[in-house]
Amino acid sequence: MNQSGGRNSNMHLSDTDEAADFPLCGLSYQWFTQSAFGAALMNLDCGFIYVNPAFSSLLGYEEIQLKQLSIPVVTHHDELLRCVHLSSQLAAGLIPTFQIEQRFIQNSGVSVWCSVNATLLRDEQGEPRYILMQTQNIDDKKKLEAALHTSVNTFSTLLESIPFAVVMLKADWHISYVNKAAEAIFKHKIEDIVGRNLWMLFPEAVSSPFYKEFHRSMEERIYTYLHQCYGPEKRWYEVSCQPTKEGICLFIRETTLLKKQENAYLETKLQLDAIIKHAPDAISILDLQYRILTVNPAYTDIFGFSEDELLGKPPLIIPEELTLETNALFQQAARGIPVVGYETKRLHKGKHMLDVSLTIFPLKSAENLVMALFISIRDISESKRTERLLRQTEESYRIIAANTYDLVVLLSTDGLVKYVSPSHQQVMNVDPAILLEAESPFSYFEEPWKSQVSDFFDELIRRKEPGTTELHWPAQASEQVKTFEVNGVPVIGLDGCVESVVMVSRDISERKHTEELLRRSCKLSVAGQLAAGIAHEIRNPLTALKGFTQFMYEGGPHKYQYLKIMMSELTRIEQIINELLILAKPQAVTYRKRQTEPLLRDVISFLRSQANLNEVQMIMHIQSNLPAVHCEENQLKQVFINLLKNGIEAMPHGGIVQIYAQKTFNGMLSIVFQDQGFGIPAEELSRLGEPFFTTKEKGSGLGLMISYKILGEHGGSLRFNSEPGRGTIATIILPAAND
């Protein structure tokens, strides 16, 4: 080697001037090239100038390859920031050296842990010039550390996950370790337990059996076990003491709940024994050879045998013809498959047969092996006799249903037809077999009757109470419409749930026709009662017409004013007659499901001009998602018009009519009309709706009477609230249509 720092071909020096200026003496060269540890000489930018074979081997690169790289290139990305930071401080002369553990990336892409010692080399003027880095492979050490860390964590996790308390005690009774579960046992935090003397922490335990057992384990270096009640709360603890190198280890588990369960088990066993003894059913226990081990008093009472006649023998109550059947049931239960509610017969000592319900349960050991058979026998002879009577009664009812003209249908709760009376053939010309095979009997109805009968069926199940409705068959205009009165009765089971629904329908078309005749007769009667009022209401305008006509005939002046008055009186007569015709004339009504908001908007639009002339503003407040109603929309519009006109006419000097539509708390539809008029006195409020009673100067009172009639036919109602000087509120309540 050139002692003056010249080049040496064995050093693989860089061709840069920086490398050529670096003096390398013989000893340093020998150390650099032959060191078992990796070594590298770098410039201040961490670029490699010299690398020794150990460093090249460590990273898996050729030396010439490394001289084209720098430290950041071969440093693991998790270590890069720290390495660059320390190298920058070193290169700036802020620190003379640093030592870290970091990962390098080998040429194969695998990371390797190394211990790194980097030192700053200065020139003759004391300026930073080079960085000398020494490395040692510590990958195995790091793996051992990781394995040790994992092992410690696993052991620690295991101790912390144990559901009972683990306590490590030194020979001087100081606590060196407790797990998390010990906090619940000791009622102290871990930091308040570790390092404390056990007997100072629990001085009251010195006089307990635990003190003696702990000392015996500590002194004799033996395993001890104690299950004992402790403390004023009388809680039970199970404690194991295991000697250790430093002292003893305690495993403590609270068993208060187990003790309570044990006591409850003993109490339950006593109660169960009492229940079996006093049970009304015959109970016996058989071994696997089908010999009776025990019987209760009900067994001897029901079958007439004494206990001595039964114990240790096969059951004497099995009829000979049922021996094979019974043995098969015993074998099934012996395989662990219970037999529940099997109806069969058993023999009384007096040789007569009893109808019984047989239940056999396998009694199993803790290893799930069948050890014996528990047999419960219920005498159902009486219920069987009742069942036969019910069957006879049902047959009688079936005969009645088969020979009646009423339509009888039995439906399950999911709408399946279980029975259809033959009368459907005669009354409706529908084969009962077709209805029995149909997925739903409602499919034979057209809307809206299909929805009505379906809703009626659902309502019967929901309310669990009988109900009545009217249906029409068929809905086609080409056929004669029949009206049926349908009575529905839900059949309630013992559990309080609806088991089925019986619907009995009767053709009431003739009765409805008779009712219509009676209604017309009633209208004639009403017309007779109204005759005097009509005569009075029409006589006044007729008198005016007659007088003005005669006056004009005689050539009186001011004919224009007379004609205007005469037209007004004629209009009043026409209004009275039209309203009376609406009341008396039979209406062809078709009810359909309609939303009320469009109907209200149509009416408001219709009355907008009249409202503007009277300087009245109409404001709607419509709740979202209002339910629809089954209605005749023109009739409902007529009601709205009547109420809105009343509100407009009640405010001759203008004002506001508020319209509110919303769903009530019980699912009905509420429509409110509120005006700012003069109001109605209490004595007149009760008379609203009477024929020809009105609070308006030119009113007839028939409008409200018609409104009451229309709303009544729709199943609704109308009520008024008013105070003089504070306006009037008219409230309509209508039933919502079911979806």
Residue located via tokens 């239960």: 333
- Summarize pLDDT for 139-193 with one digit per residue, the tens: 888 888 888 887 777 777 777 777 888 898 999 999 988 888 888 888 888 888 8
- Summarize pLDDT for 78-99 with one digit per residue, the tens: 989 999 999 999 999 999 999 9
Mean pLDDT of the chain: 80
**Percentage, residues of the chain above pLDDT 70:** 79
The pLDDT of residue 205: 87
The pLDDT of residue 278: 80
Beta strands in 244-321, from DSSP E residues, in sequence order? 247-254, 282-286, 292-295
User: Sheet of 165-170: strands edge to edge?
Assistant: 175-178, 165-170, 247-254, 235-243, 224-230
Beta-carbon-side half-sphere exposure of residue 203 (alpha carbons within 13 Å)? 1
Please, which pLDDT band fits residue 690 given cuts at 50, 70 and 90? low
The pLDDT of residue 549: 72
Provide the CATH topology of domain 590-734: Heat Shock Protein 90 (3.30.565)
pLDDT(672) > 90:
yes
Coil/strand/helix, residue 59 = helix
- Summarize pLDDT for 270-313 with one digit per residue, the tens: 777 777 788 888 899 999 999 998 899 989 999 999 989 999 99
Asked whether the beta carbons of 252 and 182 are under 8 A apart, the reply is yes
Provide the CATH topology of domain 162-259: Beta-Lactamase (3.30.450)
**Percentage, residues of the chain above pLDDT 90:** 27
Please, which pLDDT band fits residue 581 given cuts at 50, 70 and 90? low
The pLDDT of residue 11: 39
Whether domain 9-144 has CATH 3.30.450.20: yes
The pLDDT of residue 128: 92
Asked whether the beta carbons of 709 and 583 are under 8 A apart, the reply is yes
The pLDDT of residue 530: 45
Higher-confidence residue of 403 and 124: namely 124
The pLDDT of residue 444: 62
CA 169, CA 189: separation in Å to the nearest integer? Answer: 17
405 Cβ contact list (under 8 Å, min separation 6): 423, 426, 427, 506, 507
Mean pLDDT within 530-554: 61
CA 585, CA 589: separation in Å to the nearest integer? Answer: 12
Helical pair 559-584 and 702-713, crossing angle rounded to 10 deg: 20
The pLDDT of residue 562: 64
Coil/strand/helix, residue 319 = coil
Worst-scoring range by mean pLDDT, 91-100, 399-408, 498-507, 727-736? 399-408
User: Do the first three CATH levels of 162-259 and 279-384 match, i.e. the same topology?
Assistant: yes
Report if pTM > 0.85: no
End-to-end CA gap in the chain: 105
283 Cβ contact list (under 8 Å, min separation 6): 276, 295, 296, 298, 299, 374, 375, 376, 377
Coil/strand/helix, residue 268 = helix
Higher-confidence residue of 695 and 44: namely 44
Helical pair 559-584 and 509-553, crossing angle rounded to 10 deg: 170
The CATH code of the domain at 404-507 is 3.30.450.20
Provide the CATH topology of domain 513-583: Helix Hairpins (1.10.287)
- Total Cβ atoms within 10 A of residue 260: 11
The pLDDT of residue 154: 73
Mean pLDDT within 549-573: 67
- Summarize pLDDT for 223-251 with one digit per residue, the tens: 999 998 888 888 898 999 999 988 999 99
- Summarize pLDDT for 416-462 with one digit per residue, the tens: 887 877 777 777 777 777 777 776 666 666 666 677 778 888 888 88
CA 404, CA 427: separation in Å to the nearest integer? Answer: 10
- Total Cβ atoms within 10 A of residue 31: 13
Q: Taking the domains of the chain in order of start, what are their residue ranges?
A: 9-144, 162-259, 279-384, 404-507, 513-583, 590-734
Higher-confidence residue of 523 and 624: namely 624
Tell which residue, 733, 571, 563, has the closest CA to residue 663: 733
pLDDT(20) > 50:
no
Please, which pLDDT band fits residue 583 given cuts at 50, 70 and 90? very low
- Summarize pLDDT for 313-349 with one digit per residue, the tens: 999 899 999 999 999 999 999 999 999 989 999 999 9
The CATH code of the domain at 279-384 is 3.30.450.20
Tell which residue, 660, 677, 661, has the closest CA to residue 669: 661
The pLDDT of residue 401: 57
pLDDT(533) > 50:
no
The pLDDT of residue 34: 83
CA 239 to chain centre: 45
Residue located via tokens 């030194």: 170
